[in-house]
Amino acid sequence: MSNTIQPDTNTRLWRIARTLEVFTVEDLAVLGETRRSEGSAFLKRLLRRGLARREGQEVRARRGRPVSKYRLLQKLTPELPPELRRIHEHAS
């Protein structure tokens, strides 16, 4: 099992982050139709590259505990930035 996120998932998550003013990992996962772990990995890459920041927390009614909210630091291009693309190597 690979921890690599497929390119189409990266693109979907990028578009969601750009569209939403403020988002959570759960927002990325649900709207991106992917696993929470993939949304979290994508968000970590945004944070490491200085493309997003934490905006605080909100309490979600369903879970009843705080979840962190994030925001992109600037409106970036509609296309997935090259630094967020991954080269996929397939083992034979």
> Does position 49 have pLDDT exceeding 80, yes or no?
yes
Which CATH number fits the domain that encloses residue 31? 1.10.10.10
Q: Which domain holds residue 31?
A: 7-75
Q: What is the pTM of this model?
A: 0.75
Q: What is the pLDDT of residues 2-32, one digit of tens each?
A: 555 555 888 899 999 999 989 999 999 999 9
Residue 2 lies in a domain: no
Give phi and psi for 49, each to the nearest 5.
-90, 5
Residue 40 lies in a domain: yes
> Does position 47 have pLDDT exceeding 90, yes or no?
yes
Tell me the two tokens of residue 46.
């945004």
> Does position 75 have pLDDT exceeding 90, yes or no?
no
Domain count for the chain, please give it: 1
Residue 91 lies in a domain: no
Label residue 62 left, alpha or beta by phi (over 0 means left) and psi (-120 to 50 means alpha).
alpha
Instruction: Report the alpha-carbon distance of residue 30 to residue 41 in Å, rounded.
Output: 14
Residue 83 lies in a domain: no
Residue 92 lies in a domain: no
Residue 90 lies in a domain: no
Q: Which long-range contacts (CB under 8 A, 24 or more apart) does 50-57 make?
A: 51/76, 51/81, 51/84, 52/17, 55/22
Q: What is the pLDDT of residues 51-62, one digit of tens each?
A: 999 998 887 766
Residue 24 lies in a domain: yes
Residue 83 pLDDT: 73
